[in-house]
Chains A and B, each alone.
Chain A
Amino acid sequence: DAGVIQSPRHEVTEMGQEVTLRCKPISGHNSLFWYRQTMMRGLELLIYFNNNVPIDDSGMPEDRFSAKMPNASFSTLKIQPSEPRDSAVYFCASSGGTYSETQYFGPGTRLLVL
């Protein structure tokens, strides 16, 4: 049974470039979450979707960040333009099914913006 899949696992880019992170949730889960982990702020929720609809995007730092969920099996988090302070590990998580409140995390994308 595949868990949450994220790609790429590592991304190094230059300031000003567009970055797209991808996530495939666990099949059958109806909620998807994007988190960012930094040393300073810990694990913070950026946005979450329920049934492909964005429910709460209050954690999205600024307009440079956008997220989409075109269908139940795919989501993207885009940063345009990227800045060095965006360097962090970005996690995707999904939940639903029997234990609906338990979120299952992907392995994360480590982003470095130079």
Chain B
Amino acid sequence: DQQVKQNSPSLSVQEGRISILNCDYTNSMFDYFLWYKKYPAEGPTFLISISSIKDKNEDGRFTVFLNKSAKHLSLHIVPSQPGDSAVYFCAASASSGNTGKLIFGQGTTLQVKP
């Protein structure tokens, strides 16, 4: 029973273009969502997050959109750079305001071609 799904295992984008990574969830109790980036042989690093009271959060080149009715979130990277090539995980939590466990998606491998 996968509560957080990233249906695209991989994505290839040209440098300078937009990268859009998608994530779907099934649990309506989730109220906090995060994106992590992972390079080979390193641990996941936090990228950006969004609370369920918002529908958009922006940080530089990275923007996360949340569509609660569709139980869908996406990460936009504009413009994409070769250094963005990594595995991206979305994660969700049902413990707003508390330190609880995160449920991770399977990850999407992004390749940004020069």
Of A43, A44, A93, most buried by chain B (CB within 10 Å of CB) is: A43
- Kindly state the separation between the CA atoms of A79 and B41 in the bound complex, as whole angstroms: 22
Minimum CB distance partner of A31 in chain B? B99
- Chain A residues with Cβ under 8 A from B99's Cβ? 30-31, 50, 95-96, 100-101
Tell me the smallest distance from the CB of B99 to a CB of chain A, in Å.
4
Chain B interface SS verdict (over half): loop
Tell me the smallest distance from the CB of B10 to a CB of chain A, in Å.
14
**Total cross-chain contacts (CB, 8 A):** 56
- Chain A residues with Cβ under 8 A from B49's Cβ? 99, 101-102
Minimum CB distance partner of B105 in chain A? A42
CB pair A101–B107 under 8 Å, yes or no, is no
Minimum CB distance partner of A59 in chain B? B101
Tell me the smallest distance from the CB of A7 to a CB of chain B, in Å.
13
- Kindly state the separation between the CA atoms of A73 and B99 in the bound complex, as whole angstroms: 17
The 0/1 profile, CB within 8 Å of B marked 1, for residues 45-79 of chain A is 10010100000100000000000000000000000
B34 lies within 8 A of chain A by Cβ: yes
Chain A interface SS verdict (over half): strand
A103 lies within 8 A of chain B by Cβ: yes
- Kindly state the separation between the CA atoms of A42 and B88 in the bound complex, as whole angstroms: 12
Of A4, A48, A104, A105, most buried by chain B (CB within 10 Å of CB) is: A105
CB pair B32–A101 under 8 Å, yes or no, is yes
- Chain A residues with Cβ under 8 A from B1's Cβ? none
Supply 30 A–B pairs (Cβ within 8 Å), ascending by A: A30-B99, A33-B101, A33-B102, A42-B104, A42-B105, A43-B44, A43-B107, A44-B104, A45-B103, A50-B99, A91-B43, A91-B44, A95-B99, A96-B99, A99-B49, A100-B97, A101-B32, A101-B49, A101-B95, A101-B96, A101-B102, A102-B46, A102-B49, A103-B46, A104-B46, A105-B45, A106-B43, A107-B41, A107-B42, A108-B41
